[in-house]
Amino acid sequence: MFLSLVLLWVCIFIFILQVKPRRTKNFPPGPAVLPVLGTILHLDLKDPLMDLERLRKTYGNVYSLFFGKKPAVVINGVKAMKEAMVIKATDFAGRPHDLFINDVTQRKGVITVDYGSIWREHRRFALMTLRNFGLGKNSMEDRIHGEIQYTIETLENSIGKTLSPGVIFHKAAFNIICQVLFGTRFEYDEEFMTVVVDCITEILKIANGPWAMLYDTLPIIRNLPLPFSKAFNGMEICRKQTIRLVTEHKKTRVPGEPRDFVDCYLDELDKRGDDGSSFSEEQLIMYTLDLHFAGTDTTSNTLLTGFLYLMSYPHIQERCQQEINQVLEGKDQANFEDRHKMPYMQAVIHEVQRVANTVPLSVFHCTTKDTELMGYSIPKGTMIIQNLTSLHNEEGQWKFPHEFNPENFLNDQGEFVKPEAFMPFSAGPRMCLGEGLARMELFLIMVTLLRKFKFIWPEDAGEPDFTPVFGITTTPKPYRMKVELRLIQ
């Protein structure tokens, strides 16, 4: 009997050694690893950002975690981030396999596609198409200004009342992306708008929540009817809505005379024929959804953060308005080039992006080959997590790292400067595809609205709460605002 018990415990011990993940030689340090679970118990699954900072203080700017048996390396601070994403960019440009978001998107589109020919073809196409459709030129500005007029109308109808700005900013950002993709905008109550916005919100909520982390850590649960299945259902709804829209779009299309991104892609399909390339209608469907995912929540959540702080710091709002009045005196509307004459406004927008920290962990990367980082050995296929929070709060990189202060982006002469720690769009070859569009949207929307309205924190709303709600994109807690008309100079 005793011998049987000893043999049983030896077998259990050997089994634990087999299933327990282990750090390879010279792999970055990190917390203790448990069999099956990895290091998941060291993280708050609803909001791991505080835990990531705590682990950074213990293990340094490069440390490791395990999601089940999968190793991951967390990168913190400017020095490590630049080495990985800029100096050794191609070594760290892959996308991890076998994750929740990969399965939801079926690894199509451009965001979750691995680093290689498919990604290069589609990124090159997107950059060229966005440039040809006036990104940075008047045509794109006109589209943004056209959508801003609907926002202005909504705000004008709310003078004297309190309103919740979340839906307003979200649908404005959604429509601007729709104009790029489909050459049209949607009424705020149209089916495509309401269904896709709701689905995207639900998918993003799940994708950076506890159920997605459990999905990645414990493959055995993936076929069970658990809450993460809502994301798969939501993606299928989005696909069907987009297929319907693209099918309708094809009926009015004139080949060779593109009106928008979708027409350009369809022209590219015609040109390539059956050449065996990665271009396909299925890829187009996921591509458009990728751009919706990347461009709607990020912009709207940054705007929500911006106006929350501008109401809470009315002296900053007033100084922005003074600069806007001075620069735009006699002009009907702002254009993107006006930013060069508005150093303070530029500083405020960038400071909003810094504190908003809208995509705090960026999009996960993985190593494309065996490499090194800050003296540690990182094997090929290791998941890489960029902790952008560590950059935007890093001591020594900012004058005021832990408070909202536009002086973080102004030099002693009051000129706009951008510290190297500012990386809200990440860095390297896989930095955000829509950075140019996002920057233009933020500038034109904020300047236009601040020129026309004064934004006021309601007297009965209590103190502003700046604590963000964590997700793939972080957002402020819901709040209300009051607006007053200003006299345009």
* pLDDT at position 76: 97
Residue 281 scores a pLDDT above 60: yes
Average pLDDT over residues 174-183: 88
Residues 295 and 290: their CA atoms lie apart, in Å, by 8
Residue 37 scores a pLDDT above 80: yes
Q: Do 312 and 348 form a contact (C-beta atoms < 8 A)?
A: no
Residues 261 and 442: their CA atoms lie apart, in Å, by 21
Cα 170 to Cα 151, 188, 441: the distances in Å are 11, 10, 12
Percent of the chain with pLDDT over 90: 48
Residue 280 scores a pLDDT above 60: yes
Return all residues near 478 (Cβ < 8 A) that are at least 6 apart. Answer: 164, 166
Residue 6 scores a pLDDT above 60: no
Residue 8 scores a pLDDT above 70: no
Residue 18 scores a pLDDT above 50: no
Least confident of 301-315, 349-363, 381-395, 425-439: 425-439
Q: What's the pLDDT band for 258 if we cut at 50, 70, 90?
A: confident
Q: Quote the pTM value.
A: 0.90
First to last CA, the chain: 93
* Residue at token pair 């459990």: 214
Residue 440 burial (CB count, 10 A):
22
Across the chain, mean pLDDT equals: 87
Nearest residue to 47 via CA among 473, 486, 471: 471
Give the highest mean pLDDT range of 111-125, 130-144, 212-226, 361-375.
361-375
Average pLDDT over residues 54-77: 95
* pLDDT at position 470: 81
Residues 68 and 353: their CA atoms lie apart, in Å, by 33
Residue 318 scores a pLDDT above 90: yes
Residue 387 burial (CB count, 10 A):
24
Long-range contacts of 325-331 (CB under 8 A, 24+ apart): 325/451, 325/489, 326/489, 328/447, 328/451, 328/489, 329/489
Fold assignment, 24-485: Cytochrome p450 (1.10.630)
Residue 17 scores a pLDDT above 60: no
* pLDDT at position 197: 80
Q: What's the pLDDT band for 489 if we cut at 50, 70, 90?
A: low
Q: How far is CA 270 from the centre of its chain?
A: 32
- Dihedral angle sign, alpha carbons of residues 320, 326, 331, 335: negative
Residue 108 scores a pLDDT above 60: yes
Percent of the chain with pLDDT over 70: 93
Q: What's the pLDDT band for 260 if we cut at 50, 70, 90?
A: confident
Q: What's the pLDDT band for 388 if we cut at 50, 70, 90?
A: very high
* pLDDT at position 110: 75
- SS3 string, 53-122, reads HHHHHHHCCEEEEEECCEEEEEECCHHHHHHHHHHCHHHHCECCCCCHHHHHHCCCCCCCCCCCHHHHHH
Q: Which residue has the higher pLDDT, 209 or 71?
A: 71
Residue 180 scores a pLDDT above 90: no
User: What is the DSSP secondary structure assignment for residue 221, as one 8-state letter?
Assistant: G
Q: What's the pLDDT band for 19 if we cut at 50, 70, 90?
A: very low
Return all residues near 68 (Cβ < 8 A) that are at least 6 apart. Answer: 21, 36, 37, 38, 40, 216, 217, 218, 219
Residue extents of the structural domains in the chain: 24-485
Give the highest mean pLDDT range of 131-145, 278-292, 404-418.
404-418
Which amino acid makes up residue 242? T
* pLDDT at position 81: 96
Q: What's the pLDDT band for 116 if we cut at 50, 70, 90?
A: confident
* DSSP letters for 177-197: HHHHHHS----TTSHHHHHHH
Residue 1 scores a pLDDT above 70: no
* pLDDT at position 189: 74
* pLDDT at position 44: 84
